[in-house]
Amino acid sequence: MASGARAVSLAVAGLVAAPLAALALQSGLTLRAADGAALRFTVTQAALSALISCALAVPLARALMRRRFPGRGLLLTALGAPFLLPTVVAVLGIITVYGRSGWFSTAQGQPLPLYGLTGVLLANVFFNLSLATRILCQGWHRIPSEHLRLAASLNLPPWSRFRHVEAPMLRAFLPGALLAVFLICLNSFVIALTLGGGPGATTVELAIYQALRFDFDPGHAAALAMVQAGLASVAVLVAARFALPEPGAGLDLPAPPQRQGRLVDGLVIGAASVFLALPLAAVLIEGLPALASLPAQVWPAAGRSVATALASAALAVLAALPLSLAAARGSRWAELSAMWPMVASGLVLGTGWFLILRPLVRPEEVALPVTMLANALMALPFVTRMLLPEVRRLLLDYDRLARALGLRGLARLRYLTLPRLSRPLGLGAGIAAALSMGDLGTIALFADQTQATLPLVIQRLAGAYRMEAAAGAALVLVTLSFALFALFDLGGRHGAK
Amino acid sequence: MKILPALAFLATPALAEVPVLNVLTYDSFTAEWGPGPAIAKGFEATCACKVNYIAAGDGGAILSRLKMEGAGSEADVALGLDTSLVEAARATGLFAPIAAQPNTLPVPFADTEFQPYDWGWFAFVHLKSLENPPANFKALAASDLKIVIQDPRSSTPGLGLVMWVKAAYGDEAGSVWKDLADNIVTVTPGWDEAYGLFLKGEADMVLSYTTSPAYHLIAENDDTKTAALFDEGHYMQVEVAGKLKAAPNPELADAFLAYLAGTEAQSVIPTTNWMYPAQSAPLPQGFETLIQPAKSLLLSPTEAEALRQKAIEEWQAALAQ
């Protein structure tokens, strides 16, 4: 492992391990009987959500990558939007559409049975379908166009074409997509509880929240976080075992458009767009009326959120790049340490750091830097997931050439690595920025009233009956997150050519 | 990290020579629409000091923060714990005895360390158009009405409801919850999600406060909401403030608590926190339309602490099936 990657690896491990240790030192690690049930439900809902999201993402990504139509680029970027919604806003959007008094129930004349595992899965798929699709689109992008041309000239029937051309690529990209969705759903808390219909839908994250906020049993929270760490690590190792290196290399010539399956592709794209757009439309409709009369606190909070998000995205990308390069060269340690922050939610990291920093500084003085760092850490696993397949590919295609040419150091970074990775770097930075925009876990512990970020202000509004103003502020948040995401994503795609 | 020094500068109170009273409280108290700003302004006019609010998420977060900081806390006053948390707060040994202030709570409340500053009755809020609102938990359980409630493990109203059923039904509480299970649409992590679901029409009733309809009436000119009067009585939430033993400014803390009990501060409470004041202060127009429970239920802090774990387990066992 290069020394840069080693330093990043150590820093990440330290920044995650120190708060866990601080929590454990407070009250000693403990687990309880009720944790078993929470654990089972957490894994079940996360695994099902990952499977369903990815099963739907395969035809969607395939359709999007096979077709060329006006607005396709915009649609690809807009696909990121559900993932950017703060969970509370997304849940309310979903309820507006699918709830007991929602659009569907009203149109159908009877209430849909939303609450329960159905609702949890629906919300998780709504959230993550777009993420899985974007990861798989990268995969389709990586199928050498020679293979597609060959398949076309041999007139391969769809099944053979899938088996010989697309299946190998899916084998490389699908485990990463499944893993990303699984890991996100592992931390699910608001979705699982609000749509789950009762305490049976308790996730480990709720148990952590309870341990930190109500029982003040930091050791219990640390033990639960470590159980989640174990789960996440197993998932990472299993995914790594199934993923195979991709075959072959291409010259990036454009593939010929295909005639087969146009109707099916059109239907898939249409249905997915409606599924994803309806709750977004609900958020828009609810938020618009309140936009004109938003409380003054919203705007400075929005500024702080954007600044924190930009810094988090930069940090996350700076850490993910060396780790992915080292991981692609075979360092399992680098790959695992990039996944490490998955062990801890913002709440766990925040509380641990609070305990460490409290004797040294006033928490308010470090509120935004700590939030920025925590958000960068939380985004690191996803950014690394985005980068890793592409970095592997880059090494496979160009490593020998670069060595032969003696291209190294900054020159290699500038002329080879960055241009070839611009697409996943943009997507990764966009996702990191968006994740940071929606975060509530860390900032809530550190900020005083002059430093609130936008999600915190939304929570305060909603907590004071001002649901309309909260919806308006949520719309501002979504718009800003989406703008940041689109900026990075389009920038990355632009830089790729 | 260039922004760090700049932030530190911003966070340091500018007026170093004026004493600063630090009040640790929950988020919504300090919001521009909450009671915090007016109370700070009013107190500052009397004390030649500056009030600085340290905002933690909610009542539970205040207590965790105090436990984390221990005697090293720079807070002088902690404001926003409720009776279900008082015993746990007392057990930290961080609170100092305070001068007793009279209060006008519907049930006697006296505590040597905690002073009530507002209170409310928990109640199920519904639209006035709801036909035959239930008059007790059993009628509710027998009906087809749909309700949204909060999780007692993450929300103080959720915990209040569990205590309400426990205070009204004792050992029968478990079976009452079993009967209620099919009325519960869902359980949310916090009050705001539940209330949001109710406003969207996802449920006929939501667990909130008898004073909730006053918000809609006074702030939104909307008189379509009311609360159901239960004949078992209504459980109360009493919010309290206390002085820290390690308070850097103990005299200021005492003065602040006295100000908090006065008419000026108390008259701010009804239309900012949407609760009843703890002292007889004039109520704004609109409050007279609210339901008035004949019977108030409140477990003492020690009883509440002793019952909490068991009551939550009963609730969980009845609903998890």
Q: Domain for residue A294, yes or no?
A: yes
Same domain, B55 and B203: no
Identify which has the larger pLDDT, A142 or B263: B263
Domain that holds residue A170: 3-246+260-495
pLDDT of A249 higher than 50: no
Q: Domain for residue A240, yes or no?
A: yes
- CA distance to partner chain A, nearest, from residue B250 (Å): 20
Of chain A residues 355-384, which have a CB less than 8 A from chain B? Answer: 355, 358-359, 362, 364-369
CATH number at residue A344: 1.10.3720.10
Share of chain B above pLDDT 70, in %: 95
* Token duo for residue A289: 């009326």
Share of chain B above pLDDT 90, in %: 72
- CA distance to partner chain A, nearest, from residue B159 (Å): 11
Q: Which chain A residues are closer than 8 Å to B11 by Cβ? A: 362, 364-365, 448, 450-451
**Nearest-by-Cβ selection for B320 from A198, A368, A448:** A198
CA distance B319 to B175: 10
Q: Domain for residue A478, yes or no?
A: yes
Q: Given an 8 Å threshold on Cβ–Cβ distance, is A214 in contact with B184?
A: no
Same domain, B53 and B107: yes
* Token duo for residue A45: 């809902």
pLDDT of A245 higher than 60: no
Q: Which chain A residues are closer than 8 Å to B3 by Cβ? A: 368-369
Identify which has the larger pLDDT, A466 or B14: A466
Residue A220's alpha-carbon distances to A15, A170, A211, B246, in angstroms, are 20, 39, 6, 28
* Contact call for residues B225 and B212 (beta carbons, < 8 A): yes
- The pLDDT of residue A376 is 92
Top mean-pLDDT range of A94-103, A109-118, A181-190, A388-397: A94-103
**Tens of pLDDT along A22-55?**
888 877 788 877 788 888 999 999 999 999 999 9
Same domain, B310 and B199: yes
- The pLDDT of residue B9 is 43
Q: Domain for residue B4, yes or no?
A: no
Amino acid letter at A133? Answer: T
**Tens of pLDDT along A88-132?**
778 888 988 998 888 988 888 887 888 888 899 999 999 899 889
- The pLDDT of residue A248 is 47
Q: 0.80 cut: is pTM over it?
A: yes
- Collapsing DSSP to helix, strand or coil, A375 comes out as helix
Same domain, B179 and B225: yes
CATH number at residue B226: 3.40.190.10
- CA distance to partner chain A, nearest, from residue B195 (Å): 8
- The pLDDT of residue A247 is 46
The answer to whether residue A450 neighbours chain B at the CB level (below 8 Å) is yes
Share of chain A above pLDDT 70, in %: 94
**Tens of pLDDT along B202-256?**
999 999 999 999 999 999 999 999 999 999 999 999 999 999 999 999 999 999 9
Same domain, B59 and B135: no
Same domain, B167 and B18: no
pLDDT (average), residues A346-374:
82
Same domain, B59 and B208: no
Of chain A residues 305-364, which have a CB less than 8 A from chain B? Answer: 351, 354-355, 358-359, 362, 364
CA distance A435 to A430: 9
Residue A465's alpha-carbon distances to A105, A193, A371, A456, in angstroms, are 26, 21, 27, 15
**Tens of pLDDT along A329-340?**
888 788 878 877
Q: Domain for residue B72, yes or no?
A: yes
Q: Given an 8 Å threshold on Cβ–Cβ distance, is A459 in contact with B27?
A: yes
Q: Which chain A residues are closer than 8 Å to B10 by Cβ? A: 450
pLDDT (average), residues A391-419:
83
Quick one: which of B222, B237, B223, B213 has its CA closest to B291?
B213
Amino acid letter at A228? Answer: Q
Q: Given an 8 Å threshold on Cβ–Cβ distance, is B68 in contact with A358?
A: yes
Average pLDDT value for chain A:
83
Q: Domain for residue A251, yes or no?
A: no
- The pLDDT of residue A385 is 80
Q: Domain for residue A253, yes or no?
A: no
Query: Would you call A241 exposed, middle or buried from its count of C-beta atoms within 10 A (0-12, 13-18, 19+)?
Result: exposed
Same domain, B170 and B304: yes
Q: Given an 8 Å threshold on Cβ–Cβ distance, is A463 in contact with B191?
A: yes
pLDDT category of residue B302 using cuts at 50, 70 and 90: very high
* Contact call for residues A296 and B32 (beta carbons, < 8 A): yes
Top mean-pLDDT range of A167-171, A349-353, A417-421, B196-200: B196-200
Quick one: which of B67, B115, B111, B75 has its CA closest to B91?
B67
- CA distance to partner chain A, nearest, from residue B173 (Å): 17
Q: Which chain A residues are closer than 8 Å to B147 by Cβ? A: none
Task: Write out the DSSP string of B245-269.
Answer: TT-S-HHHHHHHHHHHHSHHHHTTH
DSSP strand pairing (B77-82 vs B20-26): parallel
pLDDT of B14 higher than 70: no
The residue in chain A having the minimum alpha-carbon distance to the alpha carbon of residue B11 is A365
Q: Domain for residue A255, yes or no?
A: no
Q: How many domains does chain A have?
A: 1
Least confident of A291-300, A409-418, B217-226: A409-418
* Contact call for residues B260 and B241 (beta carbons, < 8 A): yes
Same domain, B251 and B161: no
**Nearest-by-Cβ selection for A206 from B61, B154, B192:** B154
pLDDT of A488 higher than 50: yes
In angstroms and rounded to an integer, the radius of gyration of the C-alpha atoms of chain B is 20
pLDDT category of residue A67 using cuts at 50, 70 and 90: confident
Q: What angle, 0 to 180 degrees and rounded to 10, lies between the N-to-C axes of helices B173-180 and B156-169?
A: 120
Q: Given an 8 Å threshold on Cβ–Cβ distance, is B68 in contact with A351?
A: yes
**Nearest-by-Cβ selection for B319 from A96, A115, A199:** A199
Q: Given an 8 Å threshold on Cβ–Cβ distance, is A354 in contact with B7?
A: no
* Token duo for residue B51: 């009030």
The residue in chain B having the minimum alpha-carbon distance to the alpha carbon of residue A87 is B193
Q: Domain for residue B49, yes or no?
A: yes
**Which residues contact residue A307 at a Cβ distance below 8 angstroms, ignoring those fewer than 6 apart?**
A368
Q: How many domains does chain B have?
A: 2
Same domain, B52 and B166: no
Average pLDDT value for chain B:
90
Q: Which of B197, B211, B321 to probe the A interface (max A CBs under 10 A)? A: B197
Same domain, B159 and B78: no
Same domain, B231 and B251: no
pLDDT of A366 higher than 90: no
- Collapsing DSSP to helix, strand or coil, B221 comes out as coil
Quick one: which of A450, A471, A198, A374 has its CA closest to B151?
A198
Q: Which chain A residues are closer than 8 Å to B54 by Cβ? A: 364, 448
Domain that holds residue B205: 120-235+292-319
